[in-house]
Structure 1
């Protein structure tokens, strides 16, 4: 059900994400906030199992899909010289949510019904709509921004979504887009099973999550600064090497220390992954159609988050241990790194010179 709902949300993202090239962020953002609130309320009030995939679709589409997409598209479009730092600031909200909300809601479930917690989430989301309208009342529109100048991509032009889809570099980046979303999601999705395999209590494993989030926030801020100083083309080919180390450590770890070090490297990649890909699309394909292009990339990532838990879960049921899977996942990230080194290394010669 989770995989089905998430896969459909990825498909819809390809179309819906392009709306950020047409409408103001304040308007489409407010609509998505209200839709997210309705989705949370539906999770609380839905009485039948067969509607669960629909509710999961709505949550994934309005939450991880469009909410995150709108934020990063706005920052990638409106900031040039400080694009890396702007993206890292925008992503702090997502990281703060990862750090606080799981622990907070699990703790609240001890004293409150889980349905009430979903209704509280709906209230929080719906309150975001008027706040966004107020804060962005002086917002620039995509059309006015088009007149005031934008960043050009490879070959000194703006690429459309269809041109990007047909370009060879996009396909070199596909494994790098799929991998973190698929295998990060799979790791956290199967956290109870992982704790059992590692002979740890579930509470011990969950207690490491704030450490992971703190590392990811630090890495995200550092990567934002590094993008502006060193440049995306030099950094992005190597951003998934920490994933190789992380999953190798998860495969070998026999106690809390090994898992904790693994979370350190997992957090490094999560931080890098929050800023570098968004800067990559803007720098290599231009910003005029960045909403449609980023939506296509976001759909690939959301699809990865649907595939990862499903494939990993089936493998567990077929007798492929999670530690064996971790070794295969580390090998996958070696492959994705090699493809980025080749692809980005060839493509950076097509980038325009400094404005």
Structure 2
């Protein structure tokens, strides 16, 4: 009963967060990569060159997000959405019209900055600031928008690609962003006053204080968690960026391979909602210690998979992994470092994650050009997650007493 009361009382704000997540999809790798073959053919790019271009554009967007993320500490989500969402729609239109390689770099940069970067920043920061006691649950519910987008966009646009010119589909992508914009703007008309304007003791972090971004960046905790921040976006992005390559290498029909994405999404939704409850009950640190295990297992299974049944098992594990990711990291920053400067802190961590999403496609694309197909790279990726997971375990174990003092 309490869940229905929570949803009823906060439906307006949760819906805004979910729609912001959903509307970020045209800037996400799983969407852009649908057109990888067409873009490479149009601009005469190899896998490595396309990956390098994508990595460069995403890296620049990450650097921009490092500073732009702090805007959410000073401006309302509604005001920022008024700029970000039309900008994302216009960038989609630019993709449909562009004929220049230089223009392609700029367009990918803007798609990544506005879509993957700022849209996510607006949604996640708002949930972390607006909710305290049920922060994990609020983050989980708002992240459902991204989950549904991840399930729907690849299947729908991959099917449309068989019947429509690829450039025409970017007009449709622009329309999907514009279609949600008026509703989001209306939902945010009654936006809550940002908590950063007040002293909120219950939302302080370790040592019973609110950490600034510079203090977080100087903390050994942040740097020991760096491999954890980079890993999922780097190799998870590569999973979608190389989806056409994976299907070709494994000998699987692309549409059938992409049909596994909704299964992953369904599991991610269940895990995300469950994760929010576990975070609220046990704390984000305890859940964080197990965060990278499904990533490790998923890449091992997909490496070994010889049929779509094996791929299905791996996508179930990827669903668990992405379900945890959608909620856990933002909740961790808020719990361990406080909420007063959560926009700047989240912006810094998101910029690093965006940087990771640049490194993955670049590295995997170059290795493919050198003769190492992506499935053969997956054992090394699993080893990466093992090492990163050990570091997470050490950090949480060593920091627990500082968090207890804050309670």
* Aligned residue runs from structure 1 range 26-175, under 5 A: 26-142=78-194, 145-147=197-199, 151-175=203-227
1:304-315 → structure 2 map (5 Å cutoff): 304-315=356-367
Residues 114 and 322 of structure 1, relative CA distance in 2, 3 Å threshold = closer
Matched residues in 1 for 2:139 and 2:128: separation? 7
Gaps of 5+ in 2: 1-52
> Does the Cα contact within 8 Å between 1:250 and 1:258 map onto a contact in 2?
yes
Contact in 1 for aligned 2:205/2:406 (Cα 8 Å): no
Task: Kindly indicate whether residue 369 of structure 2 is the aligned counterpart of residue 317 of structure 1.
Answer: yes
Structure-1 separation of matches of 2:185 and 2:255 = 40
Contact 2:196 2:340 in 1 (8 A): no
What's the CA shift for 1:313? 1.2
Aligned to 1:261: 313
Q: CA deviation at 1:203?
A: 2.5
Aligned residue in 1 for 2:75: 23
What is the deviation of 1:325?
Answer: 1.0
The count of residues paired between Structure 1 and Structure 2 equals 355
TM-score normalised by L of structure 2: 0.84
Contact between 2:298 and 2:315, CA under 8 Å: does it hold in 1?
yes
Residues 1:316 and 1:116: Cα distance change in structure 2 (over 3 Å): closer
Distance 1:159 1:300 in 2: 18
Matched, 1:240 2:275: no
Counterpart Cα distance in 1 of 2:371 and 2:176: 42
Give 1:129 deviation, angstroms.
Answer: 3.4
277-286 vs 206-215, greater mean Cα deviation: 206-215
Structure 1 residues 127, 256: closer, same or farther in 2, change over 3 A?
Answer: closer
CA offset at residue 346 of structure 1?
Answer: 0.6
Q: Please state how far the C-alpha of 1:39 moved relative to its aligned partner.
A: 0.9
Counterpart of 2:271 (choices 213, 219, 232) is: 219
What's the CA shift string for 1:143-164, capped at 9, x where partnerless?
A: 6742565610111111111110
SS in structure 2 opposite 1:136? helix
- Match of residue 340, structure 2, among 285, 288, 308: 288
- Residues 1:329 and 2:384 aligned together: no
* SS of residue paired to 2:190: coil
User: In the alignment, what sits opposite 2:237?
Assistant: 185
Asked if the contact 2:206–2:405 (Cα under 8 Å) also holds between the matched residues in 1, the reply is no
Describe the SS at the equivalent of 1:238. Answer: coil
Does the Cα contact within 8 Å between 1:84 and 1:225 map onto a contact in 2?
A: yes
Q: Which consecutive unaligned segments of at least 5 residues does structure 1 have?
A: none
Distance 1:100 1:160, change over 3 A: same
Distance 1:150 1:59, change over 3 A: farther
How far apart are the structure 1 equivalents of 2:220 and 2:196? 31
Q: How far does residue 201 in structure 1 lie from its aligned partner after superposition? A: 2.2
Question: What corresponds to 1:3 in structure 2?
Answer: 55
Q: Work out which of the residue numbers 328, 331, 340 in structure 2 matches 1:279.
A: 331
- Counterpart of 2:280 in structure 1 is 228
CA contact (8 A) 1:44 1:119 kept: yes
* Closer, same or farther: CA 309–65 of 1 in aligned 2, 3 Å: same
Range 185-194 or range 283-292, more displaced: 185-194
Alpha-carbon distance in 1 for matches of 2:304, 2:145: 33
Local SS of the residue matching 2:164 = coil
Contact kept in structure 2, 1:31 and 1:129, CA below 8 Å? no
- Per-residue CA deviations over 1:167-194 (Å, capped at 9, x if unaligned) read 0000111111111101011111112222
Query: CA contact under 8 A between 2:158 and 2:255: conserved in structure 1?
Result: no
CA shift in 2, pair 1:342/1:144, >3 Å? closer
